[in-house]
Structure 1
Amino acid sequence: MTMTSITKKLALVAALLAAGTGAAHAADEIIRHRIPNSTFPISAAVEVPSSFTNVYLSGQVPPLQDATAPKNSAAAYGGDTKGQTVGVLKAIEKSLTGLGLTMGDVVKMQVFLVGDPAKDNKMDFAGFMEGYTQFFGTTAQPRLPVRSAMQVAALANPAYLVEIEVMAVRPAK
């Protein structure tokens, strides 16, 4: 074997190792698949590599926002669906921060909406989206989770119009 052929083989091995390192790095990235031909602010799918741990947050309901409003009234918890959504997402953001995570670490979201009496007891999806898009798909926080949203008959408190549960991920230590 000549010195030239050994050098070529070493160069080939080095190139293959370098390519493998890049592939390993790419395998450690979360992949968020957008909905084709859509600007709707959710992901169609999210791939999370095994090097991440899952963090499941319990369903979050609207926090008390107006103690002067009648007890168990929607006004006490943010009023309409948009106001309650913002309150819930702020509470989720606070919980995530306490765990060393951010809204950008959320990969899955389930949303439970009660029909709004002011909207003929139909869920106010537009109001929900107005609140949601303050936290997801923004310039400051562009990462989008997969998400389901559904109307439910009721939540634990008759004043609640919104409950949201999320799953976030973090790189394993």
Structure 2
Amino acid sequence: MKAFLSGIATAVLLTGASATAYAADDGVIRHKLPDSDFPISLAVEVPANRTQVHMSGQVPSVIHADAEANTVAAYGTMEEQATSVLQAIEKNLKSLNLTMADVYRMQVFLVAEDGKVDFSGFMKGYTKFFGTTEQPNLPVRSAVEVAALAVPGWLIEIEVSATRPQ
């Protein structure tokens, strides 16, 4: 009976908000931001039949080995670092039999250079993985500026949560 009522509630929700929400084949409901094409979800509902997987923060890899160690030059621009971190997340998700499409929540920590966060550079990296034709699922996301991360050259750290069927 409980599953039946849950199914009715989901159907009512989707019928009442079909312009702003969509359910993937996995039953996860992602609510779109109203009147916006910004590539995040307003809210995500994870059904009870899904296991939540929380991944520790991922940080960039050195992409310029000839640069001085632990510097931004070694890890690259914000876009390069965002791409590096998201590639690491993608690889780690794969090792857990998950994909970027399973990500429903993201928390991003950004470091400012010269007093300003390169949010545009972050978004260039982010949109390579989310909101694409191949991977349209959008997570809920917070992006916050922090004074520093553990290594002086890191400009970004990202935590994600994903879901899988039980």
TM-score normalised by length of structure 1: 0.81
CA-atom RMSD, angstroms? 2.0
After superposition, give the CA deviation of every residue in 1:28-71 in whole Å (9 maximum; x if it has no partner): 61000000111000000000001000111000010122221111
What is aligned with 1:81? 78
Taking the TM superposition and a 5 Å limit, the aligned residue runs for 1:2-21 are none
Match of 1:37 among 31, 35, 39: 35
TM-score normalised by length of structure 2: 0.85
Larger fraction in strand: 2
Cα separation, 1, equivalents of 2:153 and 2:162 = 27
Cα separation, 2, equivalents of 1:123 and 1:150 = 10
Match of 1:59 among 51, 57, 60: 57
Quote the sequence identity (%).
Answer: 60
Q: CA deviation at 1:155?
A: 0.1
What is aligned with 2:117? 123
Number of residue pairs matched by the alignment = 149
Choose 1 or 2 for highest CA Rg: 1
Q: Which runs of 4+ in 1 moved over 4 A?
A: none
Cα separation, 1, equivalents of 2:120 and 2:59 = 18
**For 1:97, what is the secondary structure of its paired residue?**
helix
Larger fraction in helix: 1
